[in-house]
A and B are shown apart, each in its own frame.
Chain A
Amino acid sequence: DSGVTQTPKHLITATGQRVTLRCSPRSGDLSVYWYQQSLDQGLQFLIHYYNGEERAKGNILERFSAQQFPDLHSELNLSSLELGDSALYFCASSDTGGNTIYFGEGSWLTVV
C-alpha cells in the first residue's frame, strides 16, 4: 500500500459525459501528479500540483482540468469524453523534496 488513495477504482461512462477522479496523497505529501496510461502504453504525465498550485503541465487536453484543494487532495476533471479517453488514470504524490513519487492504484475509465 503506497498510501495514495484514488477513487473510483472503475468507472464506465458514455461519450460526451464528464467525470471527476479523486486522489488523496500520502500523509504529509504536498505534491500531487496525474498520469494517463492507455492500453499497452507508458505513463503520460498530465499535470503536477504542489500545495494547491499548478507546477507543471504535460500532455493534458483542454477538456481535462485538475485542482488541488487546501486539504491537499486533488481532483482530475475529464469532460466531453471521447472513446480514446478510456485509460488508467494514476495519481501519485511526493514529499517536499519530490525525489521519489508513489503511485495510487489507479482509476480505470471506460468510455463507451
Chain B
Amino acid sequence: DIVMTQTPLSLSVTPGQPASISCKSSQSLLHSDGRTYLYWYLQKPGQSPQLLIYEVSSRFSGVPDRFSGSGSGTDFTLKISRVEAEDFGVYYCMQGIHLPYTFGQGTKLEIK
C-alpha cells in the first residue's frame, strides 16, 4: 500500500499569516495518463471532509484562491497564503492512483 506522510501533524497559525503543509507518498503518484492523483481535503469539526484541491494543483469549485497546491512525483505541498478563521480544521492529503486509496494522518490547523 502507498503510505502518505503529512508534516507537520499540527500547526498553530495567527489569522492573516501563511501556512504550509507537506505530504509525501511512498510511491510516485504520476499515472501513465500524465495526471498525478493527489488530493487535499479539509475536515471542519463535526463535518465531513471537503475537497479543496485535486490533481495536485487544481482548486475545486468555490475554493478560495488563497489555497494552492504544488508538487510532483512523491512530494506535495498545500499552501494557504493568508489563513482565515474558516480555514481551521484538519487537512488530509490522499492518493487516488493505486488501490487501496490511502490518506495522510491529517494536519490539525489551529488558531494561535
| A and B physically associate | no
